Chains A and B, each alone.
Chain A
């Protein structure tokens, strides 16, 4: 249907400059009515900037080029102006207020009034209707904080529908969602398309794009490279990647011959309770082990307890310890604090880089040494020269793209931030490194490099645990994969016996193996 329908939005040679950087240079984009148009590109390519130009976050006059929407040249001076025209953007970080109810959130800034007083009855009725349209069965008075991320995402869409959206922009809508929530969301977007609402979707999940998009515009280094028609051009993931990185990636994983040694780290009967709900167990009697030089995958749906397991082992930084043992190098150890965990050779790279992994005010060098300050200090006085040299060494070794280690980490792209976080933990010289979603929000090229780093660590004889929602990643990287379901370990598969199907079975089925 797409090629025949008229163009609803055209962005013509958009150029946007920041002091010292040309973020967008002559980018063009044409979206047809009633299509799902994906924008692909590596982190820092300029996708989000382009969407911010379109939605008026960067007002008219701060960029050059034309936005032609429904046949008219638009000059949006703020988000309100673009929303008024029916263009609504849903950001990657959701803009909902956790304490307010669903209704209050949907109508925030757009409250229906009667004699100047908010008409909650009308709002409530309308939100019931909107919830039905997005396929969400919830009481509209429920506070948003009680909903999962997947449902919150749907609330955002309901909010957009309430603004009589014609063009919906979704920035990484499924980044934080599990498989089934993602699927539901994608179905919903397709449903909207059938009702004539066009969508622009930014995503790193290429399989989803391949699945739902009608056309794809690829952006690289601030330039629009090409627009592909998914059906006509027979586009697949490899084709998209080729456009994004400007070359064909031979393989998505570096070659690696694993050579695991003996078991050196064991967790036995690990049981942990929820931090605020004591009778809810987030880890139930879990046991696993790691060999030297082995990459162990942990597969599980979101909320299955993967992160909880990892963090409770890492110095009890999550939940309330109930029972269990940790044995390292044949000796039982007790890790009550993060400090003890680090000194016993554990490292944990969080899934939530921005809020748990980085101090965004810090520069690269301070971040690199922040978990092992005593290594660069004499009598607790930090040696700035050693700090600089250490950071510089990791910058070179991990090929972090930055002009200098004095640069603030906030300025780096996701992939480079992740390299700095990896450097930070590599500098603590751990025996066991736990990586929680190590490639989340990272583009294809950087992923390949991160995989390489993980394999190098394993080659040095370190044990590496990789927690990931992306099964292909686990299958490509791990020597063994444990599956978790509702806090219990439900099975373990060797590299050669694991497949997406077999893993999925163990991740979703009730505890057969436990």
Chain B
């Protein structure tokens, strides 16, 4: 028990969230008699959920800044249909189509960002309007028809890494990516240990680091193995790759850059941020605009995967993305949340969906279970906070991005009655 605590506690707490995900996978693996962890299923899981996870990345930033975005599904659908039609009617090549999609996303984002940031209308209202406007626009432009997209455009939604190099019986590129990830994880841990030592912060015992690395590497290698040994023609899916790159970029932006700090600052206390020289309007504008760009991207990936853009694409996506973000430990009141946490939250929902599907549970029951799961996950978190214990999801995901130095024990200088206030502001 103590060993577990050492492994999952201290500054290795981020493992816990992954641990919950693994537990879910193991349960379904047993319940489905081994159907969960097959190459095909895992590939499907990524393919079928990449767009929601991409939305979750944008959504967590919106929620950290203290807003919400209900329009992402409609924006995705509108961008999808416009891109499909420009390629069909104007004969644009696939890359130009993607460019059109991203620009259109940025334009829509600027529109919504303008109302939220500069006019000061709550994002809930602006994006509720956007949800209607862009759903209608999708159906108006496409005349409620389905518009197919060309073969090479489908690659971004349904493509796989190509086979290159010698025939090893595996997909070589997938193997390469897996090895790079493992190397990066090991390098990161060594660097963090060295850093903490140099700063005089707490360094976890060596065996904890080693065990952590062994477990994490094993998981990555196993996933690599699954992706690399799928049916011929399949390997690591392109949407998964796009997602991975986005997680890296946005994880970095949110935790390491000035803009990222400003997003947290505005969400945590807008007035204090403004009096510290943060241009909160600009931050709000950027966050809303970024969300729409990612929604456009998600829409295009979905269109690529389903070979065509239709009038009911993206219905309900906003809620999936929002659920992922809150399961991932974000706070409704803003200021709290992480990109990686949200993606893991999204994966938890995806695994739940997938596992229930494999078990042959109907859509009706699946929804009920998902709803209860969301409630339970957040309730557990809130309960823990109200007990004065640290928030599970918050702590589990905290060290992914911000505050990587070891959390320190409470002290006698602490004013006890402020603990409760903090809790209520966080919850």
Contact = CB atoms under 8 A, between A and B. Distances in A.
A360 B413 contact: no
Interface in B394-422: 402-419, 421-422
A49 B413 contact: no
B277 A338 contact: yes
A374 interface: yes
Nearest to B407: A406
A356 B415 contact: no
B417 A49 contact: yes
Contacts, number: 151
Contacts of A359: 264-265, 268-269, 272-273, 335
A363 B411 CA distance: 15
Interface string B259-290: 11100110011011111110100000000000
Contacts of B274: 317, 338
Nearest to A421: B272
A249 B404 CA distance: 41
A258 B265 CA distance: 37
A175 to B, nearest CB: 16
A380 B271 CA distance: 22
Interface string A359-387: 11111001000110110010011101100
B257 A410 contact: no
Of A389, A411, A412, chain B has the most CB atoms within 10 Å of the CB of: A411
A338 B405 contact: no
A413 B260 CA distance: 28
Interface in A38-90: 43-44, 46, 48-49, 52
Contact of A406 (B277, B408, B412): B408
Interface stretch (A15-23, A120-128, A152-160, A273-281): A15-23
Interface in B246-263: 256-261
Contacts of A46: 416
B357 interface: no
Nearest to B266: A359
B198 interface: yes
A337 B410 contact: no
Nearest to B269: A359
B199 A413 contact: no
B422 A360 contact: yes
A203 interface: no
A381 B388 CA distance: 34
Interface string A410-424: 111100100000001
B276 A374 contact: no
B425 interface: yes
A356 B403 contact: no
A21 B201 contact: no
A411 B265 contact: no
Given A360-B422, A411-B419, A381 B256 contact: yes
Nearest to B268: A359
A412 B413 contact: yes
A51 to B, nearest CB: 9
A45 to B, nearest CB: 9
B416 A389 contact: no
Contacts of B257: 377, 380-382
Contacts of A404: 201, 405, 408
Of B257, B272, B426, chain A has the most CB atoms within 10 Å of the CB of: B272
A407 B199 contact: no
B276 A370 contact: yes
A382 B258 contact: yes
B415 A411 contact: yes
Interface of B: 195, 198-199, 201, 256-261, 264-265, 268-269, 271-277, 279, 335-336, 388-389, 402-419, 421-422, 425-426
The 5 closest A-B pairs by CB, nearest first: A359-B268, A20-B410, A410-B422, A371-B276, A23-B416
